[in-house]
Amino acid sequence: MATPRCSEPGWRLVLRAIGGPRAIAGKLVRLGRTLRLWLDPGEARRRLAALAARGAIREQPGRWQILFGGLDMLRFVIEPAARDYYAQRGISFGFHQLLRVLDDPVSMIDPTGFLSDRDTIIGHVMQVVHLNPIYDLQLLQIFPDGLDALERQLEQMLAGTHPRAGTIGAIVEDAGYHARLLDYVRRFRVDPEAPPPVRQEQTLRADPRFAAAERTFATLPGFVAYCARLPAGFGALARRLHSVRQFPLEPALR
């Protein structure tokens, strides 16, 4: 069955992604929450401490290391994988990103989700057919009810009763994605080592640098460990961002 993303004209998808007054109000609320989290210098430390207390991570990188590590995740994995995948699906990458921004601008402000609130992370993982959703499920463990809320909201998406069903429906191109994701959430809650539904349509895995980057950033512990190995100062991080154009295969990043 074709989803609205694959069957409706572009102008209608734009209107769907924007939604009505209630949907727009929800976007503004999520945007405001995320900006407040970004402005709170202690929030990243609190989240790292919560993950460390659960045994989910060992290192606790600094705020700037997380930011620049997220930029590396974006440029070395998220963007190239999305371009490759959407090209195979015959979907315009640029138009798809426009729909994502219209549905929820926060997903572009915080691509790692590390300083987003619970429902923003859940909306993101429901909005995008993920390369591998395990990172997001591990991230939701920051919140005591994170996985409960994700399971409940996926059930609502499948029933068509979720408040964002219309706007998210303008974006998701895979009709079976939410059912597969719900199945994985239930399996993950029983066994965190359960195999995730990895997107197989990637031709980039033949590139050893992309493959290495995917392995590094696929999980939250991998991402945090990468961030912890980055330089600590903003100036050094900015210079590295400018000079490092490919994912570094060597283990030492400093």
pLDDT tier at 253, thresholds 50, 70, 90: very low
- Provide mean pLDDT across the span 189-199: 94
CA–CA separation, 84 and 141 (whole Å): 30
- Provide mean pLDDT across the span 32-55: 84
Does 144 score more than 50 pLDDT?
Answer: yes
CA–CA separation, 241 and 64 (whole Å): 12
User: Where do we find the tokens 């989910």?
Assistant: 56
Predicted pLDDT at 1: 64
- Which tokens hold the place of 19? 């939604």
Q: Angle formed by the axes of helices 220-228 and 63-73, to 10°?
A: 120
Q: Angle formed by the axes of helices 208-217 and 220-228, to 10°?
A: 100
CA–CA separation, 197 and 200 (whole Å): 9
Q: Domain residue spans in the chain?
A: 4-243
C-alpha torsion angle, residues 85, 127, 109, 200 (rounded to 10): -30
In the chain, what are the helix, strand and coil shares in percent, each to the nearest 5? 65, 0, 35
- Provide mean pLDDT across the span 192-219: 91
| Count of positions (residues) in the chain | 254
- pLDDT tens sequence across 74-85: 999 999 999 999
* pTM for the full predicted model: 0.88
Phi, psi of 8 (to 5 degrees): -100, 155
Predicted pLDDT at 130: 92
CB 58 within 8 A of CB 221: yes
Radius of gyration of the chain from its Cα atoms, rounded to whole angstroms: 18
109 versus 145: the higher-pLDDT residue is: 145
**Among the listed residues 35, 234, 27, the one whose alpha carbon sits nearest the alpha carbon of residue 115:** 35
Amino acid, res. 109? I
Does 252 score more than 70 pLDDT?
Answer: no
CA–CA separation, 184 and 188 (whole Å): 6
pLDDT tier at 251, thresholds 50, 70, 90: low
For the ranges 29-38, 58-67, 215-224, 239-248, which has the lowest average pLDDT? 29-38
Average pLDDT over the chain, rounded to whole? Answer: 89
Predicted pLDDT at 254: 43
- In Å, the largest CA–CA distance within the chain is 51
Burial class from Cβ neighbours inside 10 Å (0-12, 13-18, 19+) for residue 46 reads exposed
Euclidean distance between the first and the last CA atom of the chain, given in angstroms as a whole number:
49
Q: Angle formed by the axes of helices 177-190 and 118-127, to 10°?
A: 130
- pLDDT tens sequence across 159-169: 999 999 988 98
